[in-house]
Structure 1
């Protein structure tokens, strides 16, 4: 009986840990008081828009048209791009728009972090706005980001990423759902103080806060967290919208998640001394949204072992029935292009990829370069 209670407790703890970032953490955030911003009178700061590209020729015509629209809306906007040794026509397409975009060419494959540092060093805007080569910004996005800098305590502002193509596959549907949850978490984190890090689709910081960092880290997380470390606010403007097409193939999404997780954990280790100095609330947020999620795969594995052992102790028939049910669900999910079984399999794959990336980083391996997903 005592062993069964222990196994049940382990299973319950694992279920809580897996659900924590998506259920319990959001509920806690909603109970926290709002920390209002304090805007002051003053001119709108100048801005530089920066992005890195590698083999994005297919996306570049639409990207350049989007940049031309933004430039027409905000004539003083400075736009700079870094080409990371593309082997297609990416650099030539950008260079042909020299009146719109200032192009910097890398010496070869050196990675996004290296490229962004080169762009930041060349930029002249008071605010640096970061985006990706395959991301399109809504026409009001720049103005809505810059408006939040009216509060002198605000050091960085994120926008909202809306994904396109969520119905094209189960992988895309799961990715879209995950990101909608992520965006809502950032909204609540912003309302209560600081968002815990940005992704590269759309975020900005005051140029004076841009940190120095090695090329091996995830620049989005490193740069955005520098705002929090400096004692300024990192907030989200949910009406500043960026749009990106989802990855639809499981293989592409798996590789992407492994790469991001490996760099995230490597970056976490680099930032650890500063993370430990954050306020208690920010440390709680960071742990809940990032660390617990990174190890979700371990919680699933331990929970599955506990559930299987408990079922075997209760009844071998229950154990066999449970095992067959799991095999059937996975088999149906792998063969399906949509539906709940396919979605469940994609969730498990996402956890496995994240755990693989974290474990890879723990052994000292990380990733500095990237390749665009072919199934976007």
Structure 2
């Protein structure tokens, strides 16, 4: 007895997908926080707010705020503690360190945690050369305006980042956008009080050089020079922008003050306080190391996403250019006067496989019988219908229409039954929900005047396009299906003749073994077999067939799931066409790569692109996002308008295009995800039939739906 092998639950991949996208968003957000770091000092004293004790605003720049009474300390006379914010920076920090080393001066560097992780070697050099390190938050965030949890995280991440790189725990803290004690704001003071609870000692400044404004070297030197021999904590910057003026001003400042008898030291040494950097625990070191790895990985991921977007954009534009060029060639080839070929009037057999098509079968058969073609027979193969489909056709009593009944065996079997029963040498295969125009059959078979043509694709149009979902599918058919078919025709690699309308030589179908039944996309599988047999497959835009598209998202999902899964099956089945000569090789080296890139790879990457868009809303300028979105929409609008013009359709449905990006596009790429997962886990997808509403039947006698 065979053992039942349990297969993975395919629904679990949705959980994994959501978790993966959340992880991606988290990683991109970390990268956004780490890379979108600003710089600069705080407001002037005139902008200080209430809520700051007078002993702070009028006291020294080094603040102990962990006790009931604030303590402010100053540096002694002729003592300068040079401090540098916003680093480390790979360009400017080494230059500043070189200047300090030449003058045998020490300083205090208030580092940004994310930049510590990005440039750990600079932090180690700062310590190795005898300087002091303090915290300047992880992302240069204004702690006076962020939520308490964010402020706590900023300080904790910075401490851990420094611990992971140096093995030391820092206690000194300077708030971003802070300056002198006189300019301290109420929110900043409250943020410093909260930070004191985790052991931080606040350091402001006596002299703010405001070098980040780049006022010129003389102005920086004047602003940084203490008056009357007083000691001072001097605020400068080694990161956050162009610091060439800071480097030059530092050289002059050290020389001038050195001649005046000043000594240059760190903040802690200047106030004779114990060392501010203590050995870090193992937990802090490990957390810092993990954080650095995470930030590095997030940076790589951000770069990869930028590359992915760039590649996708280039491919999208290249695809559009190829489509437009091929469409123009196709139009010129169709309209170009050429040597008159004989008119094709050979008998045609139209085969209609039908399973529970009671809603549309009468309209389908009536439209076929009304065809303006001299020799036509219609064969309806009822594949075990339970809704009286065959009875409806028989009661019509139309001349030239035959009904064949068989037990339910699937669409391929029904088609093969009709092929065997057909009397004509030219066969037209039609879905049971499709309505032809009077000239459709005639236009469709004229391509057979070329003896190298083995099959011809018609032009499928959506009949029920009045609702929003119908308009979306109408645009998709015109843009994606028919524009692609013109390209395939020019490149001679047509991968699919739609089941709704296709013509074949009977001898070709017998040569390839009939309609295959081992994939769910039998139309794609059959077309690829015809190409690999050495025949040409062409597109006839004037042979129009109106078909009923799914009228609900559920039905649309089931249809596209089957199409996508079946197309993947057919692509895998015919993968050996890559190395074949002739028509098969054109399919393998043109059609299959195109399908792989634009129907599998890019749709699989689309969820990540949408996550990147959410990331952009959080971290990128909205003006850039709006410009990019409008540009993409205009490109899609141009493509849609061009395709509608080629198909002689009205431009009215274009208004639905922006909304298509919000629902329809996401649904289509999720279909691809579901199909790939189904194939990977080895589950077998069953045939899923769409419920018919009979809307296609309304076309008979009513003309095309616009």
- TM-score interval (norm. to shorter): 0.7 to 0.9
- The aligned residue for residue 266 of structure 1 is 569
How much does 1:229 deviate?
A: 1.4
Equivalent residue in structure 2 for 1:65, among 338, 361, 366 = 366
Q: Give the counterpart of 2:353 among 52, 55, 64.
A: 52
Unaligned runs of 5+ in 1: 323-337
Kindly state the Cα deviation for residue 117 of structure 1 after the two structures are TM-superposed: 1.4
The higher radius of gyration belongs to: 2
Per the TM alignment, residue 202 of structure 1 is displaced from its structure 2 partner at its CA by 0.8
Q: Once the two structures are superposed, what CA deviation does each residue of 1:56-88 show, in whole Å capped at 9, x if it has no partner?
A: 111122223212212xx3352121122122111
Identify the residue that residue 591 of structure 2 maps to in structure 1. Answer: 285
1:216 corresponds in structure 2 to 518
Q: CA RMSD in A?
A: 3.3
User: Alpha carbons of 1:248 and 1:100: their partners in 2 closer, same or farther (altered >3 Å)?
Assistant: same
- What does 1:176-325 correspond to in 2, within 5 Å? 176-181=474-479, 182-210=481-509, 211-212=512-513, 214-217=516-519, 218-274=521-577, 276-277=579-580, 278-280=584-586, 283-289=589-595, 291-305=597-611
Deviation at 1:161, TM superposition (A): 1.3
Which of 23, 46, 50 in structure 1 is aligned with 2:320? 23
Q: Which residue of 1 aligns with 2:388?
A: 89
Ranges in structure 2 where 5+ consecutive residues have no aligned partner? 1-34, 36-298, 627-655, 696-706
Give the paired residue count: 353
CA contact (8 A) 1:197 1:221 kept: yes
The TM-score, its normalising length taken from structure 2, stands at 0.45
Name the structure 2 match of 1:333: none
Q: CA distance change for structure 1 residues 15 and 106 in 2, over 3 Å: closer, same or farther?
A: farther
Secondary structure in structure 1 of the residue aligned to 2:665: helix
Q: Is the 8 A contact 1:44 1:150 kept in 2?
A: no
Q: Rate the CA distance shift 1:308–1:15 in 2: closer, same or farther, 3 A.
A: farther
Q: How does 1:111-126 map to 2 (within 5 A)?
A: 111-126=410-425
Label 1:13 to 1:287 Cα distance change in 2 as closer, same or farther (>3 A).
same
| Deviation, structure 1 residue 35 | 7.6
CA distance in 2, matches of 1:30, 1:62: 32
Match of 1:344 among 662, 677, 681: 662
CA contact (8 A) 2:349 2:378 kept: yes
Which secondary structure state, in structure 1, belongs to the residue aligned with residue 542 of structure 2? strand
2:179 aligned residue: none
Matches within 5 A, 1:30-179: 40-41=341-342, 44-70=345-371, 73-97=372-396, 99-108=399-408, 110-169=409-468, 171-179=469-477
Whole-angstrom distance in 2 between the partners of 1:172 and 1:245? 9
CA distance in 2, matches of 1:115, 1:203: 16
Q: 1:129 to 1:281 in 2, by over 3 A?
A: closer
Tell me by how many angstroms 1:273 deviates: 2.4
The two structures have a TM-score, normalised by structure 1, of 0.81
Deviations 1:141-173 (A, max 9, x none): 11112211111111111111122232312x211
Range moving further from structure 2, 123-132 or 20-29: 20-29
Aligned to 2:678: 360
- 2-structure distance, mates of 1:43, 1:24: 35
CA distance in 2, matches of 1:301, 1:343: 13
Structure 1 residue 230: Cα displacement:
2.2
Contact residue 113 and residue 216 of structure 1 kept, 8 A: no
CA shift for structure 1 position 339: 7.5
Tell me the distance in 2 between the aligned counterparts of 1:79 and 1:21: 43
Q: Judge conservation of contact 2:495–2:587 (CA < 8 Å) in 1.
A: no
Matched, 1:10 2:313: no
Deviation at 1:342, TM superposition (A): 5.5
